[in-house]
Amino acid sequence: MAKKRLLSAFGTGLALVMAVSGASAAGLSDGVLKVGVMTDMSGAYADLSGPGSALAAQMAIEDYGGIVLGKKIEFTSADHQNKADIAANKAREWFDADKVDVIADLSTSSTALAVMEIANQKNKVTLISTGGSTKITNSNCIATNVHWTYDTYALAVGTGKAVVANGGDTWFFITADYAFGHSLEGDTADVVTASGGKVLGKVRVPFPNADFSSFLLQAQASGAKIIGLANAGSDTINAIKQAKEFGITENQTLAGLLIFITDINSLGLETAQGMMLTTGFYWDRDEESRAWSKRFQARHKSMPTMSQAGVYSSLMHYFKAVDKAGTDEAHAVMAAMKSLPINDMFAKNGYIRDDGRMIHDMYLVQVKKPSESKGPWDYYKVLRTIPGDEAYITPEKSTCKLLKK
């Protein structure tokens, strides 16, 4: 592993020298560095990303001093409404007319994949924090993208493996019917079966959805010990609340495969207590994460989700890379990003692989009982730190062409 890391670092360093030597000596191409946050501002994922992701980006610009290479950093944001066509059209407009250099967040996998394609055509950078499909750094990988916060493989390795180890060996999946849900269901099913468990069935649910009654009844009828919720945001919250109302949780256990701290806040500890989940960030992890999160909370009135923290971290790293590269040319910046270590409020000893996967530790946590919580937002106890090299798909198993050179 150490030899591979050394060779990777050498290759990245060589790429940086070549990219910078070929980049424009003028620095910023338009005399300004423009950041765009494209996210779900009003729909199912607005609480976990949305306005909070926009704020995180603005905080990153402010904390960096608002200047890179002696020029101003500008900011814009847009609501993609969780629709790939809207996201793709907005990306073209931003890149062509508004001269946006980097797009961050992208809160559904379908929008992330659509914008990545446009960015690849336009030689621009994308920093994906909320979209989770493993396609992003596998079959659909591009050279100018970084997948920062988590992916469905890491969630499966964390939550799926732990639930089976605790006796949850038969599963039924309720799955959001788009790229992210399919990826999360597939990755978790693979982990369940590899761990000795069995998948008894699944049902695909239109996204977004408010009524889960018929889908929950199918899960109940399956007799599975575990009902795996391969969805997120308000869909997950609705499914959990309705399962409790129907009495399903008296005999079967829900496994929320992508749960954010804002979801726990909406559900309340009385409902969510005991649930295990996997996260890439927890505000109360250490002094640095607490200090940043409290600044965020003072402005947003909510502790940050891992996606919102990821937006801040990814942009701070991007700004450092632009400074190091001396240009905003995408390939030069990407080479610099891959050459720089990541040690901040989000991750320690993180690094970016050639497929664009940011490798960092993930955390298996359990939601506290109300009696265990010491105050507002004190929701998790960390059961295990999952090392980054274990949490993500290995290069040997990846289908990304960038790793097959």
| SS3 track for 244-260 | HHCCHHHCCEEEECCCC
Quick one: DSSP state of residue 303? Answer: P
Give the pLDDT score at 6.
44
DSSP assignment of 368-396 equals PPTTT--STT--EEEEEEE-HHHHS--TT
The type of residue at 144 is: T
Q: Which helix (H) or strand (E) holds 263?
A: helix 261-267
Place of tokens 């991750």: 347
Domain with CATH 3.40.50.2300 in the chain: 2-150+285-355, 153-279+364-386
Give the pLDDT score at 10.
47
Q: Whats the size of the chain, residue-wise?
A: 405
d(CA 234, CA 114): 23
41-66: per-residue pLDDT in tens? 999 999 999 999 999 999 999 999 99
Which residues have a Cβ under 8 Å from the Cβ of 17 and sit 6 or more positions away?
none
Contact between 107 and 53 under an 8 Å Cβ cutoff? The reply is yes
Is cis: bond before 208, omega within 30 of 0?
Answer: yes
Between 3.40.50.2300, 3.30.450.40, 3.40.140.10, 3.40.640.10, what CATH number should domain 153-279+364-386 receive? 3.40.50.2300
Helix, strand, coil percent values for the chain (each to nearest 5): 45, 20, 35
- Strand 358-359 and strand 226-230: the pairing is unpaired
- Distance of alpha carbon 132 from its chain centroid, rounded? 5
Architecture category of domain 2-150+285-355 in CATH: 3-Layer(aba) Sandwich (3.40)
Give the pLDDT score at 404.
78
Torsion of CA 248, 221, 201, 203, to 10 degrees: -70
In the chain, which stretches have pLDDT less than 70? 1-26, 405
Token pair for residue 159? Answer: 């939550």
Place of tokens 């889960």: 212
